[in-house]
Structures are given as C-alpha cells and as structure tokens.
Amino acid sequence: MGPEEKCAVLYGKYELGRVLGQGSFAKVYHARNVVTGENIAMKVVGKEKVIKVGMMEQIKREISVMKMVKHPNIVELHEVMASKTKIYFAMEYVKGGELFEKVAKGKLREDNARGYFQQLISAIDFCHSRGVYHRDLKPENLLLDEEGNLKVTDFGLSAFTDHLRQDGLLHTTCGTPAYVAPEVLGNHGYDGATSDIWSCGVILYVLLAGFLPFQDDNIMAMYKKIHKGDFKCPPWMSSDAKKLIVKMLDPNPRTRITASKIMESNWFKKTVPRTMRSKEEEEFAHVGDEDWVGKVKKIESLNAFHIISLSEGFDLSPLFEEKKKKEKEQLRFATTKPASSVISKLEEVAKTSKFSLKRSDSSVRLQGKESGRKGKLGISADIFAVTPSFLVVEVRKACGDTLEYNQFCSKELRPALKDIVWKSAPENPTIA
C-alpha cells in the first residue's frame, strides 16, 4: 500500500479498508465516506503505468463521460481524485457478489437468464447512446446488488485498469480470449459497440448453457473457432434463444445484430424487463383519470414570488429565453392562449408520438407507450396564470431518459407548440 493509501482518511473524506480486487493497473479497496457513512469501492490506479502505455488522454475522456452516465444497471462513478502518482475512482459499492458465482452452481433457468440479460443490454445500449463502450465485458464485471439487480462495473474504465497488453488488445483474467470478439483478436481496429454485443452473446450463452461457447485446450484452435463463429448450442436451449445467440456471435461485425434489434427479438421481449418500471410509471398506470384529475388543483394564479421561484433567482429571463444547457429536464414558455388550447396541442402531440395522456384543467401527463433506455418516457405539463389572459406553462421530465426527453422536446414538442408561444421579440423563440 502506497503512502497515500496509508493515510487514515484519504482527502479528508474516504477511509480505506481491505483490498477487494487487484489487476495489473489497479487495486480496488473497500472504503467508507466518513462524512456520509456510505460504503464505497475505491479503485486506485498507478499513473506511471497508464502513462507508459499512452492511455492518459483516453482516461480523461472516459472519466468526463462516465460522470454523466447514470443508469440503474451501471455501477456509478461518484468522484475522481488524483495525487502525483495515483488516480482514485470513488465508485458505488455493490455487495451481492458476481453474477457468475450463480452460474458456477449450474446453468440458469431461461426466465432468470433473460432478466439478467435484459438488464445487461439496457446498460450497454444506454452507454452506447452516449458514445461510451465497455470493450472488456466478462464475468468479473457483472455484479449483483443485495436485491439481485445486475450492475455492470468498469464501464468505460476497464480498457485501462485491467488486463491491457502492450499490443493494445484486451484479454480476460486467465489470458484466454473467451469473451473477446474476433475483430479485436485480429488487431485490425474494431467498433466498440459491435464488439460489446459479441461479448454479451458469449455471456448469454454461458448463462443458459453453464459453459463457454468456444473452448479448446489449444489456444490457437480456440482462436480459429472464434474467428469462424464455430460453436453449438446445447439441446435444452429454446429455439428463440439459439437464434438470438447465433446473431450475436456472428464473426462478421458488419452483419452482427445491434442492441436495438436484440431488444425487438422474440426471446428478449417474452417478459418485461424487471428494472425498467419507475414509481411514476406505476402511478400513471394505476391511477384512474377521475382520481388523477381530483388530485390536481384549478389553474393556480402566480404572484411575484411564484414568478421568482419559477425562474433562476431574480433573473426572469429563463422563463422566456433558451437556456444554454445541453441536458435539461424542463422547459417553460408563456402564452396568451387559453389553457384549453395548450391542452389541445399536447393532446395532438400525444396522438402523433405514441403517448398516453391524462389531463385536468391545469395539468397534463404524457406517458410513452414504448420503453426507452431508462423505461417509458413520462412528461408533465403544469399551467400557471400570471394574469387571466397570460399563462406560463412548465413542462418537465417525470421519468425516463433525459437525452430521449430532450430529443422529443426539440423534434416533436417545440414545433407543435410554436403557434401558441408568446414571443417577447420577433426573432427570439420563448420556450426556455
């Protein structure tokens, strides 16, 4: 343990405990946040080794992206710190152990395997949509929490923390290419998204079979099998599972199935992904229109204090101007049209964009009919009266993925609302 780790409390915040794991580039410690009492997994990476293999720029890029990645099936990166010789990653501590400890006891039932696989693909697809690729998916990186939920670890960080050889290829702990796509082994350059899908295919095969698809005592013979996609599914696998695995373990990355097509497959869709239904979705599904309307007040009149609270501090411009923010979860606009016109416009949007809708005199809730990267998108719109003929409408994301919400707002919602938005100046749109 280096001098930094010997400190009683790291950076006055983290108390380091026992070693949880070790790779060629990093050690992972159990740690405790002394301020909050929260358990943390602290990954400690040696700068010298990282610089030696020319990975420092990649680390900086990956860290900036990982800080934005929040998903229920990805281990969260809380904070990154650095000293002269070390980089410290404070990460979510997952207590339940590795998924493959379950497989060591025998293959999983198909329904159980599907539940874990749905969570895995949900995490993979979410990060691919953000331009982050794992590149080293393997059993050690699939953890379970105490409720049995899957958590992918080292997403975007694995490429430099463990098992990187001088040739830049990624390998599993034992040095075999068991989970690695053929194009990665071929060293011709590879696409992170398609190589991740291959690894997911190997993982699904192992969950359902209890053993690896490509096995041979001779390493070169194993390489040949991987390059040819030479494997057989055991007879107990269902035909839909076999079809999906064959498409994922396609040795040609250009024709290999994509994450979106996996999620459309019969086998994947047989049961609903278990982690993707939020409290907001449950509420929308189970509360009847009459109950929901009864909970909502009449249109609320705004006084000066309300207006200030709706804006950011005393600057009222955010009510009526475009925010310079890439990912935001709400927008506001003013209108001189009656509330009924606003609600009618939102009803039109719901019909054309595959949303269910519940409404009252002063509030509308849109709920997506199709599951997105973080479940179904839910959007709430509340109407406030500044004067009887001047309204402020606040639209916000109730549940789902922020990126999908922002895309919906820019492509569907803003164009639909442009005719009713009050314009403070001819050239400026006023949706904030």
Nearest Cα neighbor of 42 from 104, 90, 6 is 90
| Position 189, amino acid | G
Annotated catalytic residue 136: yes
Q: How far is CA 279 from the centre of its chain?
A: 18
CB 244 within 8 A of CB 90: no
Q: What per-residue string of b and e applies to 137-169 under the rule 16 or more CB within 10 Å gives b?
A: bbbbbbbbbeeebbbbbbbbbbbbbbbbeeeee
Q: How many helices (H) and strands (E) does the chain have?
A: 19, 13
Burial class (CB in 10 A: 0-12, 13-18, 19+), 377: buried
CB 130 within 8 A of CB 65: yes
Which residues, at least 6 apart from 75, have a Cβ–Cβ distance to it below 8 Å? 41, 91, 92, 94, 143, 151, 152, 153, 154, 155
Which residues, at least 6 apart from 340, have a Cβ–Cβ distance to it below 8 Å? none
**Among 111, 125, 136, 240, which one carries the catalytic annotation?**
136
Query: Is 47 within any annotated ligand binding site?
Result: yes
Q: Could you tell me where the beta strands, DSSP code E, fall in 263-352?
A: 300-301, 330-335
- Residues annotated in a binding site: 47
Active site residues: 136
- Residues annotated in a binding site for ATP: 47
